[in-house]
Structure formats: structure tokens, C-alpha cells
Amino acid sequence: MAQVASMTGYSDATQTTEFGAVTVELKSVNGRFLELSLRLPEDLRFAEGPVRERIAAGVQRGKLDCRISLVRDPAAAGARINETALSQLVALTGRIQQLLPQAGPMSTGDVLRWPGVMEASAADAEAWRAPLLNTLDSALDGLHKSRLREGAALCSALLERCDGVERILGQLREFCPRILAEMERRLHERMSQALGTALAGTAISREELNDRIRQELTLHGMRADVAEEMDRLAAHVAEVRRTLQRGGAVGRRLDFLLQELNREANTIASKASAIEMTNAAVELKLLIEQMREQVQNLE
């Protein structure tokens, strides 16, 4: 059985090589589709295509922020200093110290980490490709595990609220027949009194009057009966449970089911003819809204 994953997660990974260290940081939140924001240092811009492909293969939905940073080892073979970039940095540092005399000088490490100071070559790019993608794979694996942990927690919350919906349905099934019977009794009394007075002295018989009252009571009972809505609610809740048990990418299907649950709860609220039914409908809508908010985070 596939697990359910949330779209919320965080992971980072670092790999140190003879050339330096590369770090990949991934952060994701909920979104309708995969929306990738990728930040790469200029020295690793060559890998943008493979990085996007690797992420798209491992993540289906969510707003994903990927930040990749690179710290070069100055002693590594092939490492070169971009003297133009270094001269610009020196001029910029001098200007800052003129404006802010209290600002301290940059260290050698600060200079080497400044974007563009350390230059990449074609051979250097090939040397970084494997470490970068390996680090990305590690970060993606950590993100996947983080999203699965979050998904498991959301599943537990959804199942708990499914229990709540079923509990309320059980209460409705218990007191709705009693409420409807009492309503019909009171309505019968009122209609008998009203129609009896209105039709006094007419040619309509008592039997015809009773037939008319029974027709009105039947129509009222059909309008006030919520048995069908409760059956559909129960079926939708059972489908929510099956969907969660099946696992995988369940977010869109659950979102549709929650819309249907909300539709049935609204119908029950509109048909409510007693305070008990109104209270039950309000509780149902509250639980369903909580479920809907949780489902928005599922992949």
C-alpha cells in the first residue's frame, strides 16, 4: 500500500569533495501543481536542466524552493581566480569603508566565497556534475521522508474526523425518525383544526379532509426527510477511508469528496426542522471544513 504524502516538507544535504562542498536545501508547501523556484550559483548554472528534471521526476505537486550553494576549495586543482571580479570587489570594499569607516575588512574566506571570484572551467563543471546530482538525490530523499511523516499525521487527523462524522450520522439516524414523527403529529393537529374550521359548512366529507391532510403530511415528510443525504454522507466518508488506505497521490480526489460531503451537510442544514438537527448539521460542517483544510496539504 502506497503511503500518503503531504506537500509540506524540508530537507538539506551537503557533500564535500576534493574541489569543495556543495549544499542543496529544499523547502516545499502546498500548491495545485509543481511550482519550482531554483536558485543556483553562477558556477553551477550548467546543471540547471538536469536539476529541474531530477526534481520533476521526484515531486508531483507543491511549491518547491530549491537553493544550491557552492564553497570551493582554493587549493583544488583547476581552481582559478577571476581577477576582474576580484578587482571589482576590492573597489566596492574600498568604497564601503569610505562610507562606513567602522566596517571591518573582508577575510580571505569571504573573498573566495563572493560570487564570481572563483571561476569555473568546462572540466571543472564536469567534475561538479556528479557530486551536485548526488547531493540533490540525498536532499530529495530527505524531503520525501519529511513529506511522508507529515502525510501520516494528516491521515490520522482525517480519519479521526471521519469517526466524528460517522458518530454524528449515528445520532441523526437515532433521533430523526422521532423528530419527524413528532412534527407530523403537531402538523396533523394544526391542519385538522385549521381545515376543519375553514371547511365547516361545506360539502367536503371528513374522509376527504383526512385524505388532504395525509397528502400534505406526506409532502412535508418527503421535504424534511434526510435519510438520502445521510446515506450519501456515509458513502463519501467510506470512500475517504478507502482513498487514504490506498495511498499515493490522493489530494485531488479527496478534495472532490470533501466538496460532496459539504454539499450533503448543507442540504441537511437546510432541511433541519429541530434544534437537534441544526446542531448536528453545524458540527458536520465544522468537521468537514477541518478535513478540507487538511486535504489542501496532501499531494
- Report whether pLDDT(191) > 80: no
- At 122 the pLDDT is 47
Q: DSSP code of 7?
A: S
Cα-Cα-Cα-Cα torsion 297, 258, 161, 158, nearest 10 degrees, comes to -30
pLDDT digits (tens, 9 = 90+) for 219-256: 554 455 678 888 899 999 999 999 999 988 899 999 99
Put simply, whether the predicted model's pTM sits higher than 0.75 gets the answer: no
Domain edges within the chain: 9-150, 152-295
- Report whether pLDDT(124) > 70: no
- At 95 the pLDDT is 77
In terms of DSSP bridges, do strands 20-29 and 9-17 run parallel, antiparallel, or are they unpaired? Answer: antiparallel
H/E stretch holding 80 reads strand 80-81
- Report whether pLDDT(123) > 50: no
Average pLDDT across the chain, whole number: 81
- Please give the grid coordinates belonging to residue 95: 568604497
| End-to-end Cα separation, the chain, in angstroms | 16
The Cα–Cα gap between 161 and 172 comes to 17
- Please give the grid coordinates belonging to residue 118: 572563483
Gyration radius of the chain's alpha carbons: 34
- Please give the grid coordinates belonging to residue 211: 385524505
Q: DSSP code of 298?
A: B
